[in-house]
Amino acid sequence: MNAIMNQKQLLMMQGAVGFATDHLDGIAAELDHSGVYPKALVAQLAANGTLGILLPQTSGGADLGFSTYVEVVRALSRACPAIASILNHHILATAAIEQWGNETQRAGTLKTLANGERLATYALGEAGPAIGLGGDALIATRKSGGFTLTGTKRFVRNAGVADVYVVFATLAEPVGPSGLVAFIVEAKTAGMTVGPRMETMGLNGCPVADLIFKDVSVSADAVLHDLSAGPAIAERLLYLGAVAEAAQTVGIAQAAAVHAAGYAKHRVQFHHPIAHQEAIQTMLAEIATDSYLAWLGVQRAAQLIDTGEPFEVEAGMVKAFLARVGQKMLVDGCQVEGGLGISESAPKGIREALPLARLFRDIAGTTLLDAPADFPDKLIAARLG
């Protein structure tokens, strides 16, 4: 893939690798323990042009394409997956505004999101069995000049640190089969509050919380595209997110494989490194093989995105595949390292020497929190017909 990258794309990818080495390797464990949002690191990513990687140059972006973006996500995830989660949700929200927003909406948001002056995210999930169902569903009621939003969005990443939210609500009087509408909502909008931060098993440092709306007034100008576009916007976010989070998962698995392989070469049993044992070789080979094949799928989906071709089936495939094998790769890595593989008791200063337990918790977040792994099954199966 690198052979077809231009100079700017290669520099961005190499910069991400250098950033991970210089700034993330040493702080990932402490960030995992503290859970404090790494504002300074995000600002450094913005200075490198990463926050605008997909946006056109007219909007202050780098316009380097999704193939370059997944390379960046993989590189960051090998060191600190939480940083990649912060980036993913910002990038996807900005991509939605760029593709679906009108000229005024794009002019009012994208340059400040590209340069890191402001951060973005999107709010899609709810507590009910489906969006728009359940007592806490976010409902948009028409009023003169706009809408009133009341309800709750769940599991919103970057909640409380984002300045701009792409929020999905269901119309009280639906337009189209679902009535789902996307709004651009500023963080300081009166009546919108952020719930308590949720404690999650992994990806600490990327805040997760509810967004609570109580009679929040938004103008008609806040609607992204039009009243019928919500389902298409949400679907594209889900599939773009599937590819981006697959890149995250691959990065985590590759980091685990490298660490486990290094451990196996130095851990001696019966006068020989355990790397000589067939069972250890099998586990390491399976991690490397699964992550390699998954990465090929991620690259293919990213290339389709860049060329404007349908990519949803490929996105669904990499999500479904990694949901099955992602955690297995970490289980195998932990087994190679034995008791140290699951240890989180190392004192401050050497926690980073034992990353597998942290990576194990992080990889669950890349496949479970945003959307179930089986959501594209019907689409994948339909291709076979």
Mean of all residue pLDDT scores within the chain? 91
Which residue's structure tokens are 């999905």? 168
* Last residue in a domain, options 176, 208, 229: 229
Residues 75 and 200 in one domain: no
262-289 pLDDT per residue, tens = 988 888 888 888 888 999 999 999 999 9
Residues 213 and 277 in one domain: no
Q: Would the pLDDT of 141 be above 90? A: yes
pLDDT of residue 311: 96
Give residue 120's pLDDT band: very low, low, confident or very high (50, 70, 90): very high
Residues 142 and 100 in one domain: no
User: 136-154: buried (b, 16+ CB within 10 Å) or exposed (e) per residue?
Assistant: bbbbbeeeeebbbbbbbbb
Give residue 238's pLDDT band: very low, low, confident or very high (50, 70, 90): very high
Residues 162 and 292 in one domain: no
- Section 106-113 average pLDDT: 96
In which element (H, E) is residue 164 found?
A: strand 164-171
pLDDT of residue 378: 81
Residues 25 and 162 in one domain: no
Amino acid letter, residue 101: G
Q: How many domains does the chain have?
A: 3
Residues 223 and 138 in one domain: yes
Residues 377 and 253 in one domain: yes
* Last residue in a domain, options 195, 229, 263: 229
pLDDT of residue 1: 46
Residues 172 and 311 in one domain: no
Domain housing 50 = 2-119
Instruction: Name the least confident of 133-137, 187-191, 236-240.
Output: 133-137
* Last residue in a domain, options 90, 119, 148: 119
Claim: this prediction has a pTM higher than 0.75: yes
Phi, psi of 30 (to 5 degrees): -65, -35
Which residue's structure tokens are 């669950």? 364
Q: How many CB atoms lie within 10 A of CB 219?
A: 10
Residues 114 and 9 in one domain: yes
Instruction: Name the least confident of 80-94, 159-173, 176-190, 326-340.
Output: 326-340
Residues 296 and 193 in one domain: no
Q: Which is more confident, 339 or 211?
A: 211
pLDDT of residue 380: 86
- Section 322-337 average pLDDT: 89
